[in-house]
Amino acid sequence: MTTSLPFETVDAFTAEPFAGNPAAVLVFPLAWPPALQQLARDDALMQKIAAEFNLSETAFCVELEGGSDKEPSYELRWRTPTEEVPLCGHATLASAHTLFTSHHPAAKAISFHTRKSGVLRAIRNPPSPDNPSSALRISLDFPSASLVTLSDGHRRLPKILAALENATGLGEADVRRVAWYDAWEAPVIELSHTSTPLAALDVRVSALASYARLWILTQPSPEEGYDIHSRVFAPAVGIDEDPVTGAAHCALAPFWLLDHESAARLPGGGSEARSAMALRAKQVGKRGGDMMVVLDEEKRRVELRGQARRVMNGVIEL
């Protein structure tokens, strides 16, 4: 007997189809028979499904007891084609968009219970007064990253700089600052605005695979309307380049806003970004996408504001 599991694919951090970062979303409602809900606990099967989609992330949402019509509650897990990951921004946004539009049209927020990142909330933002029919805007409440700046003499720094030069041809003179994002085993690298623009940078991704799980490259934006540009590479977890990465912006917010010298290099000297503790961020890979990033230093939280667009739905036949 064939079992059918519905899915949606959603482009996150964009309002346009075929841009932003695509994620597949599977939802397991409480109303389903227990045997169907239990499929979500089959880790081997869920990983095969993620590999079959072959997207940077597939999200699995299992409805939990105790939620309400205004704020339902879900367990949320994320998988790349090769493994489960502890946090993913774009697949959380895709999940929230799917749940708000297809399952809980009256909900104002959704609570996501995760295994390694605590409880994350997605909040439905009211439509713009100037454009009531505008696309759904969603805010995600995420933990802020803890970063360590790598100064001269730090044991990690020479290996990071050597791998970067091997992958891009950029040398130490092109690098303004490097920090380490321990939760993701990731360097965060600010490139000089006078070096090659990130959007045009040719990266030999295989050269980045051996040292870190995630590579975050960033630069003050040369483009009007944005504060920063970024690109993210994760060949160690099966993703050569991630189109738009929410988790990376949990690090980019404190990286830029809590370091006065880096903040001063933002457009306009960074005064507007610092006063609002907010960044207009654009990830500039082939697909591209953007978000507003707001840092709450006291609570150590980051708000990621963005849009999403469903591009496909169907069923998986098991």
Q: Which of 108, 40, 118, 89 is nearest to 245 (CA)?
A: 89
Mean pLDDT per 10-residue run, the chain (318 residues)? 93 95 97 93 97 96 96 97 93 98 96 96 83 77 95 93 96 96 94 89 92 94 96 91 95 97 94 96 93 97 97 96
| Same-domain status, 136 and 165 | no
Does one domain contain both 159 and 117? Answer: no
Same domain, residue pair 312 and 288: no
Residue 63 annotated as catalytic: no
On whether both 129 and 179 belong to a single domain, the answer is no
Note whether 119 and 192 are same-domain residues. no
What is the tally of structural domains in the chain? 2
Q: Do 116 and 224 fall within a single domain? A: no
Active-site hit among 8, 16, 52, 57: 57
* pLDDT value for 115: 95
Which CATH number does the domain housing residue 39 bear? Answer: 3.10.310.10
Q: Are residues 17 and 134 in the same domain?
A: yes
- Give the residue ranges of DSSP H helices in the chain: 34-38, 43-53, 89-102, 157-168, 246-257, 260-264, 271-276
At residue 18, the 3 state secondary structure works out as coil
Indicate whether 169 and 311 sit together in one domain.
Answer: no
Domain that holds residue 34: 4-144+306-317
Confidence (pLDDT) at 130: 64
Q: What is the pTM of this model?
A: 0.92
Q: Give phi and psi for 159, each to the nearest 5.
A: -70, -40
What is the rounded distance in angstroms from the CA atom of residue 266 to the CA atom of residue 272?
A: 9
Whether 8 and 133 share a structural domain: yes
170 and 294, same domain (yes or no): yes
Query: E strands of 117-211, at which residues?
Result: 119-125, 137-143, 147-149, 175-181, 186-191
